[in-house]
Amino acid sequence: MIPVVLFCCILGVSLGLEVRQSPSEIVTGPEQKLQISCSHSRTDYRQMLWYQRPAGRSTMRLIGYLYHKDSTLEEGFQKDFSFSGDLSGDTEKNSSLVIRNTEQNQNAVYYCAARDARRQKNPAIAAKTRRSQTPGSVV
């Protein structure tokens, strides 16, 4: 069995918003189900975006996002990925990324980000691929 190693990046504090992601590191075998959780305390930030930076690559790919209760997955991620969470209330925001069937090609660093989507006409506006910065904390 070839182990699948997944890293989750804890994004830290940005503009007064602390985004917490757990667990920080996951090692699993192929064909397993796993969940990565993300939370923050800003009640007006009702959108969480999930990114994947594959091992050995410098670019991140948008997996998709959760807006209030609605989730959108980008092409190529619908088969093995899903989101859960409810960002609509006035409480701490929580979201989870679920990988239903881990595979070797999913060995990556996964990032969670939060934003206030009220200022956007279309909350789907997000960078599809972006040049990665050096992660602040990857364990």
The tens-digit pLDDT sequence of the chain (139 residues) is: 445 545 554 444 445 678 889 998 888 888 899 999 999 988 888 899 999 999 899 999 999 999 988 999 999 999 999 999 988 888 899 999 999 988 888 889 999 999 887 755 454 554 444 444 433 323 2
Cis bond leading into 30, ω under 30°?
no
Domain ranges of the chain: 4-126
* Predicted TM-score of the model (pTM): 0.76
Predicted pLDDT at 11: 45
Query: Could you give the CA distance from residue 33 to residue 119 in angstroms, rounded to a whole number?
Result: 35
DSSP 29: -
Predicted pLDDT at 119: 59
Predicted pLDDT at 65: 94
What secondary structure does DSSP assign to 68-131, as a single string?
Answer: TTEEEE-TTSTTTEEEEE---SSS-EEEEEEESS--GGG-EEEEEEEE-GGG-SSTT---SEEE
Predicted pLDDT at 15: 55
Predicted pLDDT at 27: 86
Predicted pLDDT at 122: 53
User: Residue 136 in 3-state DSSP?
Assistant: coil
Predicted pLDDT at 44: 87
Choosing among 3.30.565.60, 3.40.50.10240, 2.60.40.650, 2.60.40.10, the CATH entry for 4-126 is: 2.60.40.10
